[in-house]
Amino acid sequence: MTAVATARTEHVFKLLVTGPFAAGKTSLIQAISQTPIVETDVDTTGSEAAIKVRTTVAMDFGTYAIDDGDIRLLMFGTPGQRRFWFMTDIMKGDVDAVIFVVDAEAEHTHADAGAEMRSLLRDIRVPVVVAVNRCDDREGAKRLARRLGALASEASVPCQLIRSPSAREVTTEALLSVLDRMEREHASVHDPLDRVLALAAAG
């Protein structure tokens, strides 16, 4: 009996969900993930215990799959505390897009959020979507994103991450940014002028 290798092509898309403490990162992953999310939550200690009871210390992990798992979306959530930022450095290496979650109403976190975002933008060149949680105002979300250091070209999405349609919109926006980027790169590769120039260079 001969084993026949089936040519199944798997496509994996990875999203990094990062942002300051208690911004809504775990809520976003929970809203999307089809499987129970892998979390590393522990009881919050210190002054942060007044904000929420449990917090992520290493990472959250959620998945979403279609086509019998051939196309998978993996979502990685980082811890929000400054002392765990090294986790973001580890995880940001190989992702297709980054969702930066910030709570519009928690203004005391915005300074840390700005520092983290600027640090992030220096090191990566994948699309970044700024999800401005607890915000309905698109202009306000854009202003906040710019204030934190996002470029004008980075998409910003006002959202309410306790609502799953809103969380899906954020995720969709991130994937659309990836798609847009891929289509543009593909278009530039297949641009007739580029082809002529490439042929001329080869000749």
Partner 1 sequence: MTLEREAAAELFGLSGTFPRPGWVVLDAARENRFTGELVFDVFPEVRAYLDRGEIYLVERPSDPSLGARLVDAGALNAAQLERGAMRIGGTEHLGRLFERAPSVDRLAVLVTTEMMNDSCVTWLARQNIRGVEAVPYHRHESGIHRWERAAAEDELVPGDPLPAPASTQAPVEQAPPVFEERTFSDGLIEWDEPSWLDDRSTAFSDSARAASPTAEPASSARHRPRSIDADWIDKLADEGLPEPGDDPLAVPASMPVRSAPTPDRFEIIWPSGAVDEEFGLSDTADRDAHPDQDRAGPTARIGGYDGVDPTNPVIDTGRWDLETTPPSFSAVPEVVSGDAVRSAEHERDVTDEVVLSVRRAVASIETGSLAARRRLASQTPESVPQIVPGRSATGDDAAADPTTEPTIRRPPSQSVFDEDSPTDLPPTLTAADAATADEHDIEPTRVSALRRLIGGLRRN
Size of the site for partner 1 (CB under 8 A): 53
Beta bridge mates, 100: 18, 130
| 3-state class (DSSP) for residue 189 | helix
133 binds partner 1 (CB under 8 A): no
196 binds partner 1 (CB under 8 A): no
Q: Write the DSSP string, 59-113.
A: -EEEEEEETTTTEEEEEEE---SGGGHHHHHHHGGG-SEEEEEEESS-GGGHHHH
Nearer to partner 1, 54 or 138 (CB): 138
Query: Rule CB under 8 A: which of 52-91 touch partner 1?
Result: 64, 66-67, 70-71, 73, 89-90
User: Which of residues 165, 192, 202, 203 is near partner 1 by CB under 8 A?
Assistant: 165
Residues 6+ apart with CB under 8 A from 95: 14, 15, 16, 76, 124, 126
Which residues bind to partner 1, rule: CB under 8 A? Answer: 9-14, 32, 34, 64, 66-67, 70-71, 73, 89-90, 92-96, 121-126, 136-139, 151, 155, 159-160, 163-166, 168-169, 171-172, 175-176, 178-180, 182-183, 185-186, 189
